[in-house]
Every structure is written in structure tokens, then in C-alpha cells.
Amino acid sequence: HLQLVESGGGLVQPGGSLRLSCAASDLTLDYYSIGWFRQAPGKEREGVSCITTVDGATLYADSVKGRFTISADNAENTVYLQMDSLKPEDTGIYYCAAGMGLVLGPGRYNYWGQGTQVTVSS
């Protein structure tokens, strides 16, 4: 059973950076796509970025292109989300999830972590 644990969230000022980590246990990531999602209060969960670890293909939401970078360390079974030039609208709980296919729709992901809070505020 695949388990995912997120870390790296926190409070940061606008324009700052954070790096989120998603560590997987029990199974290799090679068979999955790993996505990052976020949910702000009162809003639906939205896809931010995803990666297929077997070939490194990536996909980004338009709202984060050029600011966020997703990467994978297959040896460590960990996927990272480097977030730069953060904006207040990036605030939310960030989740990583494992699924099939390079897509940003949450419905294609079967395994979810517990989430980590990211707050962008001055």
C-alpha cells in the first residue's frame, strides 16, 4: 500500500520561496505519476503540477508556470515542488498524490498524503 508524506510547508512573505517534499513508502514511484494539488479555504482542490517519474515528463497549471518546478529523486522515492516568487494566492494546503497519467485532474489520483500548509503573507 503506497503511503505519501508531505513536508516543507510554512509561512513565507510574498516573493519568497519554499520547497515541498513528497516522500513515498512501501512501493517504488516508477509506476506512478505524482501530482501536487492545493486547496484554499472555500475553494475546490486544484492541480498544480505533476510528473511521471519513469521519464521525467512534467505538466504545470498556467497559474504556476515559470514559478514552480517539480522534480523527482527516484533513488530516494521523493518528489519535490520548488516554489519561487510566491504570491498570496498560492496560499493553501498542498497535497501530493499518486496516480496514472500525466494529468492535473484530482480524480485520476488514488493515493493521497495528509497535506502541508503553505501561507504566503506579509
Planar angle of CA 37, 72, 120, nearest 5 degrees: 40
Minimal CA–CA distance to 95: which of 116, 111, 81?
116
pLDDT for 38-65, tens place per residue? 999 999 999 999 999 888 899 999 999 9
Q: Is the pLDDT of residue 28 over 80?
A: no
Q: Is the pLDDT of residue 29 over 90?
A: no
pLDDT bracket for residue 96 (50, 70, 90): very high
* Res 74: pLDDT: 86
pLDDT for 80-95, tens place per residue? 999 999 999 999 999 9
